Amino acid sequence: MTIERMENVEVITSEGKGRGLKATKEFWAADVIFAERAYSAVVFDRLAARIMWRVEREGTGLTEGCLVSVDDLQNHVEHFGEEEQKELRMDVDTFLQYWPPQSQQFSMQYISHIFGVINCNGFTLSDQRGLQAVGVGIFPNLGLVNHNCWPNCTVIFNNGKIELRALGKISEGEELTVSYIDFLNFSEERKKQLKKQYYFDCTCEHCQKGLKDDLFLGVKDNPKPSQEVVKEMIQFSKDTLEKIDKARSEGLYHEVVKLCRECLEKQEPVFADTNIYTLRLLSIVSEVLSYLQAFEEASHYARRMVDGYMKLYHPNNAQLGMAIMRAGLTNWHAGNIEVGHSMICKAYAILLVTHGPSHPITKDLEGMRMQTEMELRMFRQNEFMYHKMREAALNNQPMQVMAEPSNEPAPALFHKKQ
C-alpha cells in the first residue's frame, strides 16, 4: 500500500467524536491530501480473510505511512441490533468454516471486530467510471476522517487508488471531513440514516440548524398551499414512488414514465422545484426517458432537476457534477447543443475538483467538452447546416443507447452491508 502526502495531516481526538484528521498546512481545492493504493477489492468474507492474512504476516502494528491500525478502528458491534448480531454470528461461523486450521487462529471476538470494522468503515470500490460496484475495501487512514453533511473533502476511487481530495480552501488546523451519505435529504432524514448505518448522532451545522430544509420541503409561494394540501401531496408522492419502484423492478418503463408525469403534474401547484419529492421524480423520469431515447422530453426534466440541485448541493459536489454531466448528455442527444455544451462545461469544472484530471470520467468529459464546443461553433455559423450534418451523422451511426435504468443508485463510496 502506497500513501502519499501523509506529512500534511495528523490524527486528532475531539471529545465526543473520536479520532479524526486535521490539516497541518493549508490546502486548496483539487489538492490530493493523500491517496492509498487499493489492496482489497473483495466482498465481506474474502475481505475479512485478506485482513487476517495480513495481520498474520505483518502483525497488528502500524506499517510505514499508516496513522492507525485496523485494530484501532471503530467496530460498533455493541450497537448492533438483534438482527445485526444474528447476521454477525452467521458471518463469523461461515468464516471459521473456511479459515485454514494451519494458519494463525483468531478469537471469535477479534473476528467479530474485523467484520464490524468492515461494516462501519468499508469503502465501495467501483469500476473506472464509478458506475458499478466491484468490491469493498478497508483503508485505515481514511477510516479516521469524520463525517460532515457539508464537508471540505471528498473521497474518489481513481485508477486503483482511493483519494481524499480538497473541495475548497482548507486552513491549517481545520479538521478534514467527508460526507458518508448523499446530502440530498432534509436534516432529520439524514440524521436517521446516519444513526442507523453508522451509529452516531450528526451534530454538523447543517443538521443542527436545519440548513436548506426549507428548500428540501419547499412549496409554491403564490398562492401558498395549506398545510393540509402539502401533507396530502407528500403522502401521494410517497405512494407514487413506491409504485414507481415496483414498475422499475419489473422493467415496465413506460408505466414509470406515466406515473412520474401524473405525479409531477399534481405536484406542480404545490411543490417548489427544490422539493425533495419533485427532485426524485425528475431524476427518475429523465433517466428512464433517456433510456427510451425520448431525449427531448428527458432534457426538459433534466434541466429542471439540475436547476434544483444547484440550489441545494455544495458547488463542488461529486453527485452534482455527475448529474449535470448526465443532463448535458441528454440535452446533446436532444439536439440542444447550447444547453448541452454549457452543462458539460459546468460538469467538467466540478469533476476537475472532485475527481481530478487523471480520472477516466474527467478524461471522457474533456473529450465531450471539446466535441460539443466544435459542434457549437458549427451551430452558430449555420444552424440549418448544423442540424443537417447532425441528422446525417446520426443516420449513419447508431445513437448511443443509455444504460438500462436500475432501482440501484450509483454505488455509494461508503459501503454499508445490505
CATH number reported for the structural domain that contains residue 382 in this entry: 1.25.40.10
Residue 70's CATH number: 2.170.270.10
Residues 410, 411, 414, 416: is their CA dihedral positive or negative? positive
Query: Looking at the domain assignment, is residue 69 inside a domain?
Result: yes
Q: What is the CA radius of gyration of the chain?
A: 24
Determine the Cα–Cα distance for residues 87 and 416; give it in Å rounded to an integer. Answer: 14
Q: Tell me, yes or no, whether 52 and 117 share the same domain.
A: yes
Q: Are residues 344 and 318 part of one domain?
A: yes
How many CB atoms sit inside 10 A of residue 398's CB?
7
Is 198 in the same domain as 218? no
Q: Is residue 354 part of a domain?
A: yes
401 lies in some domain: no
| Count: domains in the chain | 3
* Longest Cα–Cα distance in the chain: 76
Task: Please indicate, yes or no, if residue 174 is contained in any of the structural domains.
Answer: yes
Question: What pLDDT, on a 0 to 100 scale, did the predictor assign at position 124?
Answer: 78
* Same-domain pairing of 80 and 118: yes
Packing angle of the helix pair 253-267, 227-249 (nearest 10 deg)? 170
Confirm if 347 and 315 have CB atoms less than 8 A apart.
no
Domain membership of residue 304 (yes or no) is no
Domain edge (last residue) among 178, 209, 240: 209
The reported pLDDT for the residue numbered 4 is 67
The answer on 66 and 41 residing in a single domain is yes
Residue 265: give the domain boundaries.
212-292
131 and 201 share a domain? yes
Q: Is residue 415 part of a domain?
A: no
Does 302 fall in a domain?
no
Q: Which of 149, 181, 209 is the last residue of a domain?
A: 209
∠ Cα 59 64 66 (to 5°): 85
pLDDT of residue 323: 95
Coil, strand or helix at 68: coil
Same domain membership, residue 339 and residue 262 = no
Shared domain for 79 and 202, answered yes or no, is yes
Same domain, 114 and 198: yes
Tell which residue, 138, 133, 134, 110, has the closest CA to residue 123. 138
Residues 262 and 367 both lie in one domain: no
Boundary-marking domain end, from 238, 263, 292: 292
> Is the same domain home to 195 and 344?
no
pLDDT recorded at residue 395: 72
Torsion sign over Cα 262, 249, 42, 147: positive
Q: What are the pLDDT tens digits along the chain (418 aa)?
A: 456 666 788 887 654 455 788 898 898 888 888 887 765 555 778 888 888 888 888 887 666 677 888 888 888 999 999 999 999 999 899 888 888 888 888 899 999 999 999 888 888 777 766 666 777 888 888 888 999 999 999 998 888 788 899 999 999 999 999 999 999 999 999 999 999 989 999 999 999 999 999 999 999 998 899 999 999 999 999 999 999 999 999 999 999 999 999 999 999 999 999 999 999 999 999 999 999 999 999 999 999 999 999 999 999 999 999 999 999 999 999 999 999 999 999 999 999 999 999 999 999 999 999 999 999 999 999 888 888 888 777 776 544 445 556 655 444 555 555 4
Using alpha carbons, select from 173, 175, 124 the residue that is nearest to residue 152.
175
- Report the distance separating Cα 275 and Cα 304, nearest Å: 12
Same-domain status, 75 and 98: yes
Q: List the grid coordinates of 144.
A: 479516521
Is 335 a domain residue?
A: yes
